[in-house]
């Protein structure tokens, strides 16, 4: 085990003063020595992470570092080959029932929105509550409108995704995930496919969500967002968690050389 | 100081302008226009003469067809046979009911603002075949039984095509999903089924079904020729349909599967609610293309002794009582096929426009 891994032990993270002050210390995601291979390529090399309820975590790192693969393992869009992932007391294995149980509680927002183009915005939002949660239609629609209002596009409810701008589509995608009333939200580079003027409208929604106490894990290069919102920032490189620290420490005083170099590159313009 | 506005130059607008611009803009175009005009005049005139002006529409027998034009009288006289085959005259009301219901189910599909037209369509796909199953062969509720050997003409063509189309789409869709399955056994079975049936000509399938199959079946087990032909058509057609649908499935981005999975939708809900609606919409042109070609391929049942509309017409034009009506007969058959195929084509365009939600632009 390398030294950064020992630094990520649950014991250590609990010693963080920020942590214990803010949260009830209830672990909702537990990742233990998790490995993943694509064929012979070792993508994720022994990740350890404990996420407490209500905690907001930002993952950054160069492309190809495995950060997207990592969060996609948390709702089993990718399978891991060794180690354990426990989400809300359910371990992710081949068991389809357990996977479905976890997915009900974990919302995900993708880089390319992935809205369903053949359904209206409202139908996109109601689909999973109707068919997975078996919520009555009227109630599902009311919830959907509530969340669409929260992401500030209730007036687009009856349009199709193809008629909306990128920023609007991503806000719908966030609302769609929230309609399932998940306990955890995963964001996989939610602003990377957006034009610069649309990034802010999406980040505003995410900041508002972070303020509501949602557990969030967010892969992003928006360092401003990380600074304002994150409880902890993770830096990943070559399939390993290189550094994990509260943002004030992470940005002002990174321990690892690789983190320093990365920060210099992305903050230097 | 601005120029006073004037009318556009007369020679660039209106009929004259259009003609000048499109037909007589250069020597080359003038020659083309004249040649085309000559061809139209020399062919359309005689055609109109043959079809309408010099044609015979009324009368009783071949002797009344004395004119130079078409003998439509022949079609009128034998129309009953062309439509119902050997179906007993007294029971033809059953077929008429089916024709009526067919029209009721599908005519609204062509009218944009027709109320609840969706339900008419659903009736056409569910209730209509069910009623047909009871009404056409009879033998239920005191209805006199009519063996399938007496069915024929347009009615038989429509039964073959309708049942083939109705069954092939769902079976083909299941096969396409199976071919993309993660489970090796299911995938293998689907691949073998598709590749075997698709590689065999329909004629062979029909021959096998009517001549060979009874030889393989144990004694006493036998079912009607029409039923065997129908099963052959359905299986053969569903192999084609499977590949059309698979084309659509492959066009759906991976992100759609992932988003559906991430929302907690299981395989069947993901497939039924997210993937298939998009995949089938994408391949409407291919599906309708396959339907149209099946509709025309049903004429092949002639070789196993079933008289569809083409068979019915063909057997009548050799009737010595009517001489030289070959052209009229084939033109009539062609016209019937064209009506139905063109209808399907229009409907598919209609459907494509309706289902377009602008995500491709």
Residue A2, min C-alpha distance to chain B (Å):
33
Q: What is the pLDDT of residue B358?
A: 66
Sheet with A41-52, edge to edge strand ranges = A41-52, A27-38, A82-87, A90-91
pLDDT at site B12? 63
Q: Are B262 and A116 within 8 A, CB to CB?
A: no
Calculate how close chain B gets to A83, using CA atoms only, in Å: 22
| pLDDT tens sequence for chain A (269 residues) | 344 444 444 444 444 444 444 445 689 999 999 999 999 999 999 999 999 999 999 999 998 899 999 999 999 999 999 999 999 999 999 888 899 999 999 999 999 999 999 999 999 999 999 999 999 999 999 999 999 999 999 999 999 999 999 999 999 999 999 999 999 999 999 999 898 889 999 999 999 999 998 999 999 988 999 999 999 999 999 999 999 999 999 999 889 999 999 988 887 65
Extract the tokens encoding B232: 């052959």
Q: Is B26 on the interface with A (CB under 8 A)?
A: no
Chain A: give the shortest CA distance to residue B172, in Å.
22
Nearest C-alpha of chain A: how many angstroms from B351? 13
Distance from the Cα of B355 to chain A's closest Cα (Å) equals 8
Query: Residue B361: which of A115, A118, A162 has the nearest Cβ?
Result: A162
Q: Which residues of A touch B260 (CB under 8 A)?
A: 116
Question: Cβ B359–A114 below 8 Å, yes or no?
Answer: no
**Cβ of A206 under 8 Å from any chain B Cβ?**
no
Q: Do A160 and B358 touch (CB under 8 A)?
A: yes
ipTM metric: 0.85
Query: Which distant-in-sequence residues (6+ apart) come within 8 Å of A80 by Cβ?
Result: A34, A35, A36, A44, A73, A92
CATH of domain B153-356: 1.10.3720.10
Contact between B229 and B306 under an 8 Å Cβ cutoff? The reply is yes
Long-range CB pairs of B266-270, under 8 A, 24+ apart, other chains included = B266/A96, B266/A100, B269/A131, B269/A132
**Which pLDDT score, from 0 to 100, does residue A24 have?**
54
CB A165 within 8 A of CB A50: no
- Among candidates A160, A161, A180 on the partner chain, residue whose Cβ is nearest the Cβ of B264: A180
* Radius of gyration over every alpha carbon of chain B, rounded to an integer in angstroms: 26
Q: Say which of A128, A160, A163 has its CB closest to residue B265.
A: A128
**Contact between chains at A131 and B269 (C-beta distance less than 8 A):** yes
Q: Is B261 on the interface with A (CB under 8 A)?
A: yes
| Chain A residues within an 8 Å CB radius of B263 | 103, 107, 127-128, 132, 176-177, 180
Contacts across the A-B interface (CB distance below 8 Å): 75
* Cβ pair B263:A127 closer than 8 A: yes
The angle, 0 to 180 degrees and rounded to 10, between the axes of the packed helices B225-250 and B284-297 is: 160
Tokens for B167, please give them: 């069954």
Determine the residue of chain B that is closest to A186 in CA distance: B262
pLDDT mean over B172-197:
93
Q: Average pLDDT, whole number, for chain B?
A: 84
Q: Is the predicted pLDDT of residue B300 greater than 50, yes or no? A: yes
Is the Cβ of A193 closer than 8 Å to some Cβ of chain B? no
End-to-end CA distance of chain A: 36
Q: Do A110 and B261 touch (CB under 8 A)?
A: no
- Please give the pLDDT value at position A21: 44
> Measured between beta carbons, which residues in chain A are less than 8 angstroms from residue B266?
96, 100
Residue of chain B nearest A177, judged by CA positions: B263
Separation of alpha carbons B58 and A28, rounded Å: 87
- Which range in A180-189, B306-315, B347-356 is most confidently predicted, on average pLDDT? A180-189
Whole-number pLDDT of residue A9: 44
| Interface residue of B248, B260, B261, B262 to substitute, partner A, most A CBs within 10 Å | B262
CA B255 vs. chain centroid, Å, equals 35
pLDDT at B97: 84
More confident residue, A206 or B106: A206
Packed helices B153-179 and B284-297: angle between N→C axes, nearest 10 degrees: 140
Query: Measured between CB atoms, does A9 come within 8 Å of chain B?
Result: no
Rounded to a whole number, what is the distance in Å from the CA of B126 to chain A's nearest CA?
Answer: 25
Give the minimum alpha-carbon distance from B263 to chain A in angstroms, rounded to a whole number. Answer: 6
Q: Nearest-CA distance from B265 to chain A in Å?
A: 6
3-state secondary structure at position B209: helix
Q: What is the dihedral of CA B351, B353, B359, B360, to 10 degrees?
A: 110
The whole-number pLDDT of residue B361 equals 38
With an 8 Å Cβ cutoff, is A142 touching chain B?
no
Is B277 part of the contact surface with chain A (CB cutoff 8 Å)?
yes
Kindly tell me the burial class for residue B9, based on how many C-beta atoms sit within 10 Å of its own C-beta (0-12, 13-18, 19 or more): exposed
**Which tens digits make up the pLDDT trace of B32-75?**
989 999 999 888 888 888 887 777 777 777 677 776 777 787 77
**Chain position carrying tokens 């080359």:** B28
Q: Which chain A residues are closer than 8 Å to B278 by Cβ?
A: 116-118
Name the minimum distance, in Å, from the CA of B214 to any CA of chain A.
46
Q: Which residues contact B25 (CB under 8 A, 6 or more apart)?
A: none
A17 in contact with chain B, both atoms CB, cutoff 8 A: no
Picking from A258, A177, A259, A257, the residue whose alpha carbon sits closest to that of residue A223 is A259
Q: Where are the domains of chain B?
A: 88-145, 153-356
Query: Is the confidence at residue B221, as pLDDT, over 70?
Result: no
Residue A135 forms contact with B (CB below 8 Å): no
Residue of chain A whose alpha carbon sits nearest to that of B358: A162
């Amino acid at each position: 085990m390398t030294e950064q891994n020992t630094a990520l032990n649950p014991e250590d993270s609990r010693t963080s003063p920020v942590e214990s002050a803010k949260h009830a210390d209830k672990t909702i995601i537990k990742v233990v020595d998790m490995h993943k291979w694509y064929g012979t390529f070792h993508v994720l090399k022994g990740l350890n992470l404990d996420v407490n309820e209500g905690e907001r975590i930002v993952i950054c790192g160069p492309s190809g570092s495995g950060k997207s693969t990592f969060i996609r393992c948390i709702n089993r869009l990718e399978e891991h080959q060794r180690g354990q992932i426990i989400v809300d007391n359910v371990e992710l294995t081949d068991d389809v029932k357990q996977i479905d149980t976890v997915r009900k509680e974990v919302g995900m927002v993708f880089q390319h929105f992935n809205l369903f183009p053949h359904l209206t915005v409202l139908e996109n939002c109601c689909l999973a509550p109707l068919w997975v949660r078996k919520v009555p239609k009227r109630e599902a629609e009311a919830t959907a409108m509530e969340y669409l209002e929260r992401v500030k596009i209730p007036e687009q409810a009856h349009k199709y995704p193809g008629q909306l701008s990128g920023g609007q589509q991503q806000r719908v995608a966030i609302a769609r995930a929230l309609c399932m009333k998940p306990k955890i939200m995963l964001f996989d580079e939610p602003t990377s496919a957006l034009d610069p003027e649309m990034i802010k409208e999406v980040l505003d929604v995410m900041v508002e969500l972070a303020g509501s106490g949602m557990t969030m894990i967010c892969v992003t290069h928006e360092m401003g967002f990380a600074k304002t919102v994150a409880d902890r920032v993770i830096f990943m490189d070559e399939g390993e968690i290189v550094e994990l620290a509260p943002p004030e420490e992470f940005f002002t005083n990174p321990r690892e050389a690789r983190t320093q170099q990365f920060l210099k590159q992305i903050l230097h313009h | 100081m601005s120029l006073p506005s004037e009318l556009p130059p007369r020679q660039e607008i209106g009929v004259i302008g259009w003609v000048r611009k499109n037909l007589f803009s250069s020597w080359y175009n003038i020659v083309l226009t004249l040649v085309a005009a000559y061809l139209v005049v020399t062919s359309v005139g005689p055609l109109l003469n043959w079809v309408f002006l010099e044609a015979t529409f009324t009368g009783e027998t071949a002797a009344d067809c004395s004119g130079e034009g078409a003998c439509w009288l022949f079609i009128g006289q034998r129309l009953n046979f062309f439509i119902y085959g050997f179906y007993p005259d007294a029971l033809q009301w059953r077929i008429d009911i089916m024709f009526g219901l067919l029209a009721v189910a599908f005519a609204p599909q062509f009218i944009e603002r027709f109320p609840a037209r969706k339900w008419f369509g659903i009736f056409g796909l569910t209730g209509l075949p069910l009623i047909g199953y009871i009404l056409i062969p009879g033998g239920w509720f005191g209805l006199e039984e009519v063996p399938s050997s007496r069915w024929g003409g347009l009615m038989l063509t429509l039964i073959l095509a309708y049942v083939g189309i109705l069954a092939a789409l769902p079976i083909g869709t299941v096969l396409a999903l199976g071919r993309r399955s993660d489970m090796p056994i299911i995938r293998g079975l689907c691949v073998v089924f598709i590749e075997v049936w698709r590689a065999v000509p329909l004629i062979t399938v029909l021959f096998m079904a009517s001549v060979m199959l009874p030889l393989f079946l144990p004694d006493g087990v036998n079912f009607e020729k029409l039923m065997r032909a129908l099963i052959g058509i359905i299986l053969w057609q569903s192999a084609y349909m499977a590949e059309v649908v698979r084309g659509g499935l492959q066009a759906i981005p991976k992100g759609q599967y992932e988003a559906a999975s991430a929302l907690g939708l299981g395989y069947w809900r993901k497939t039924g609610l997210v993937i298939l609606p998009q995949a089938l919409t994408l391949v409407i042109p291919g599906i309708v293309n396959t339907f149209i070609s099946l509709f025309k391929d049903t004429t092949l049942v002639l070789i196993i002794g079933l008289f569809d509309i083409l068979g019915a017409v063909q057997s009548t034009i050799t009737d010595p009582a009517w001489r030289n009506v070959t052209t009229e007969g084939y033109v009539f058959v062609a016209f019937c096929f064209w009506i139905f195929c063109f209808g399907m084509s229009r409907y598919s365009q209609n459907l494509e426009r309706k289902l377009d939600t602008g995500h491709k632009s």
